[in-house]
Amino acid sequence: MDSPLQFARANVQRIVAAELPRSVRAKALAELIRSLRSYRWVGIYEVGTESVSAIAWSGPDAPAYPVFPISSGLTSAAIAERKAIIVGDVRTDPRYLTALGNTRSEMIVPVLDPGENRVIGTIDIESEFANAFSEEHAAECEEFARLALPLWTLPSSPE
């Protein structure tokens, strides 16, 4: 029998290969990741040269900052370090850019363009509980980012 993680891997590939508008596929990806571990909120973002923009999200509310400067928030650290950033209590991290008022922990996973070794997107996961994320969670989401790479690199279907 397939594990939930194997199921999720197969579904990430199915989602990104679907002939649907990019925003619809990104929303499905966010919902899949959110449901895997009952995360409270998941956002899928595009990283441009100067700003980061929400493509889609799954959770109780829209992000407070659907577009923000590339130099802001924990996202800027994930972009600069090209690795997942986990903050156990965002109230103690001055880099935190408030997205939802009761967020206590956050994980930002960069999506890397393998040809250019630059960050082209992020997966942002938030929890209302402190210390909600582990290195295991980060490794899973880094794998999802690799599997979902075509969402950022291939031409998208018309919206």
Give the pLDDT confidence of 74-120 residue by residue, as tens digits.
999 999 999 999 999 999 998 888 777 788 999 999 999 988 889 99
pLDDT of 141 = 93
Can you give the pTM of this predicted structure?
A: 0.92
Kindly tell me if the per-residue pLDDT of 158 is higher than 60. Answer: no
For a pLDDT cut of 70, what percent of the chain falls above it?
A: 96
Tell me the C-alpha distance between 1 and 66, whole Å. Answer: 39
Q: Is 96 exposed, middle or buried (0-12, 13-18, 19+ CB in 10 A)?
A: middle
pLDDT of 70 = 94
Tell me the C-alpha distance between 151 and 80, whole Å. Answer: 21
4-153: CATH topology is Beta-Lactamase (3.30.450)
pLDDT of 42 = 96
Kindly tell me if the per-residue pLDDT of 129 is higher than 70. Answer: yes
Q: Is 9 exposed, middle or buried (0-12, 13-18, 19+ CB in 10 A)?
A: middle
Kindly tell me if the per-residue pLDDT of 1 is higher than 60. Answer: no
Q: Alpha helix locations (H) across the chain?
A: 4-17, 22-36, 73-81, 135-147, 150-153
The tokens for 51 are 């700003």
